[in-house]
Amino acid sequence: MRAIAVGCAALLLAGCSREERSAGTAELFRDVAAETGLQFQHQPYPSGKFYMPEIMGAGVALLDYDNDGDLDVYLIQGMALDGGGKGEGNRLFRNELVPSGTLRFTDVTAASRTGKVMYGMGAATGDFDGDGHVDLYITGFGKNVLYRNNGDGTFSDVTEKAGVQDERWSTSAAFLDYDRDGDLDLMVLNYIDFTLRGNKACFAASGEPDYCTPKAYRPVSAKLFRNEGSGRFTDATVASGIAKAYGPGLGITCSDVNGDGWIDVYVANDTAANLLWINQRNGTFAEQGLVSGAAYSEDGLPKAGMGVSAGDFDNDGDDDMVVVNLTREGATLFQNDGRGAFQDVSLRYGVRPLTFPYTGFGVDWFDYDNDGWLDLFIANGAVTLMEEWRGQPWPFQQANTLLRNEAGRRFRDVTAGAGAAMRLKEVTRGSAFGDIDNDGGIDIVITNNRGAARLLLNRTKGRNWLRVKLEGLAAGARVGVVLEGGQEIWRRAHTDSSYLSANDPRVHFGLGRQTRVRRIRVAWPDGGKEEFAGVNSNRQLLLKRGEGKPF
């Protein structure tokens, strides 16, 4: 194995110019998983009975579990559903970048006590007990797990003690402070009422056995757990109103979509109306997907919503939504008017035709080329038999998609020039986004159903950037930079979005040719607003609550 040496200072937290890279290739992304020690093979253990969970997982989480300043990787594994407990368990890989200066990973699963054997699906990250160490919630088909970070390199299973168990088929989850009381609550999506005993026989158009769609089963409600601040949660699903509407939930993103300072929740449902839970600022939510325009595409039909992400793609100061769907449906781009009303603009911006051939799962807004405009990566892989792969043992492969934002005017498919790893046809599911090598470019970790995990290292260079880390409770905070010309760019602090995955909590800004930002503004999750002095580009900045000036 050859490790990747990073050609800047060992502690890259202060940043370095991407011009210092010695990359001699035009590839935008390169897979370095194997050579850096991030070696993982997802195994759903297909039974031949076409159990639906076999084709749906799994996800990945990026988290700095040891607080050393770089992102570690947690990968979710399957197990044999037919019994016997066969499975390798989930795995945690520690990033050795800090302090070694070399990007390589060490499998610390056994030492960290995080290798539970389960039929895993997804992961959410957040410091639920406020001790300064990020914790980990794992969803699955069967029991979920809450791992409390002990701060010494180990985790403890506190699921029962904390009261966050859910034994249904859980998918994506997110930590959020929906009641603005200063601690992280937890929302968990559930898919359908599938059981092994109740497995139904479904068939492709050719008559061959195939995986069912969720329409063969009843959808179930998500769960909302309220953090009581003592290491315990209470089930607030009914009291909050979340139980009033449901669907086959797969993707979740949390954002203040109407600008009132309270976190709202958007849920992508598979073959059913998407849900937009508007925070009523009294501990309850009202479902307003239909009235807001975010429930259906512009043709008024529900689509097979899988992954979802919120981000300000047009740089007008509010978060827009993207939902990825089934082959021959295309992704849906919902543009926000700033007050929480959405319009399907998928055709206007070219998103639908570019994604029409694919079944999307993982997705996120990220500025891969640091030009100040949010681009899109979509992880693709079918769920029913692909004709071109007939006769193959896992006939669901598709290539992934990278869409470049052309300054808010339109999106352009740049997958062909993005690198060989981006063009591989695999059954990709989870995708997590973050600066793995701390060089100022957003990298991607993807998981493949019945395939290898891949680390797509961002090799673009030449433009400036700024990374902001917020101390303390930051999930849902909005961060804005004021550029020298007066333009403002707003992003949010989050780990949610995508599909079954958790992202880098640090807030990243591409600055183009700007070498300095004039001011930095933060709208904290509890409603407080602060402004901080400007800084030079190409560095990471730590912002602490109370050290800025109100604005």
pLDDT value of position 468: 98
Angle at 60 between CA 59 and CA 63, to 5 degrees: 150
Q: DSSP string spanning 142-208?
A: S--EEEEE-SSS-EEE-HHHHT----SBEEEEEEE-TT-SSS-EEEEEE-B---STT---EE-TTS-
pLDDT at 386 over 90: no
Can you tell me whether residue 292 is helix, strand or coil? helix
Q: Counting every residue, how long is the chain?
A: 551
If you average pLDDT over residues 377-401, what whole number do you get? 88
Contact assessment for residue 110 and residue 104, using Cβ atoms and an 8 Å cutoff: no
Enumerate helices (H) and strands (E) in the chain, giving the number of each.
7, 42
Residue 5 — very low, low, confident or very high, per pLDDT cuts 50/70/90?
A: very low
Which of 497, 472, 444, 434 has the alpha carbon at shortest distance from 255?
Answer: 497
Q: What is the pLDDT of residue 389?
A: 76
Are 351 and 313 in contact by the 8 Å Cβ rule? The answer is no
pLDDT band at 392 (very low <50, low <70, confident <90, very high): confident
481 strand-pairing partners: 489, 520
CA dihedral 244, 54, 114, 361 (to 10 degrees): -60
State the first-to-last Cα distance of the chain, in angstroms, to the nearest integer. Answer: 51
Q: Is 332 helix (H, G, I), strand (E, B) or coil?
A: strand
Q: What is the pLDDT of residue 24?
A: 37
Q: What's the pLDDT band for 8 if we cut at 50, 70, 90?
A: very low
Paired tokens of 192 = 């359908």
Q: pLDDT of 102-150, one tens digit each?
A: 999 999 999 999 999 999 999 999 999 999 999 999 999 999 999 999 9
Q: 115: which DSSP letter?
A: -
pLDDT digits (tens, 9 = 90+) for 290-321: 999 999 999 898 999 999 999 999 999 999 99
Beta bridge partners of 251: 268
Is the pLDDT confidence value at 18 over 70? Answer: no
Q: What is the pLDDT of residues 214-228, one digit of tens each?
A: 999 999 999 999 999
Residue 299: the pLDDT is 87
Instruction: Mean pLDDT check: name the lowest of 8-22, 376-390, 403-417, 504-518.
Output: 8-22
HSE of 526, CA atoms in CB hemisphere, 13 A:
10
- Cis, peptide link before residue 99, omega less than 30° from 0: yes
Residue 338's CB is within 10 A of a number of other CB atoms, namely: 12
